Amino acid sequence: MASEFTFVAGNERLEFRVVGLERSSLGTENLEDWLDSTVSVNIGAFTGSFKAAFTISDLIILDEQLRNALSLHSGTASLKNSGGDISLSVEFKERQAVVSGVIQPHRLKQAALHVRLDMSEAALYQTVQELEDVFRKFRPHMLKSRGAIA
């Protein structure tokens, strides 16, 4: 039941593959479950992957900001996971977007990758469609686990 969303520029890509739900161990004060994910990087000479976790809220914020910026053809969207592994911004300029930021897996604090992808607006529309697929597959399960859906 995996689902993915990507940032793609030519042959370079950042892929976020959501593979399942991970129940929060923090008790009732943290009502949101984590989306267990694998992040794959293929940018320039750098290729690799690592585990990361996102909350559905992390992805909803990204989705809302991307949609708003795409409709205005300007603005900024960000992806920051609650675990602190990913900090990316998507800055729109005319019909292009620059994805930049830092990827620093929490298990390897001594390693950080600064990334930059120059994307087309059309490629970002694809990212938004892929996020919709993630929401279709995982959001209903999360709402059910909280009693919001019968």
Q: What is the pLDDT along the chain (150 residues), one digit of tens a residue?
A: 789 999 999 999 999 999 988 765 554 444 567 889 999 999 989 999 988 888 888 999 999 999 999 999 899 999 998 778 899 999 998 788 999 999 988 766 778 889 999 999 999 999 999 999 999 888 755 554 444 433
Q: Could you give the angle at which helices 121-145 and 56-72 cross, rounded to 10 degrees?
A: 150
Task: Tell me the one-letter amino acid at 61.
Answer: I
> Do residues 34 and 55 make contact, with C-beta atoms less than 8 angstroms apart?
yes
Residue 58 to residue 137: CA distance in whole angstroms: 16
pLDDT value for 63: 95
Residue 127 to residue 16: CA distance in whole angstroms: 10
pLDDT value for 111: 82
DSSP letter string, 23-72: --SSGGG----EEEEEEEEEETTEEEEEEEEEEHHHHHHHHHHHHHHHHH
> Do residues 141 and 21 make contact, with C-beta atoms less than 8 angstroms apart?
yes
CATH 2.60.120 assigned to 3-142: no
In this prediction the pTM is 0.85
Non-local (6+) Cβ contacts of 69 within 8 A are 75, 76, 77, 90, 92, 97
3-state DSSP assignment of residue 131: helix
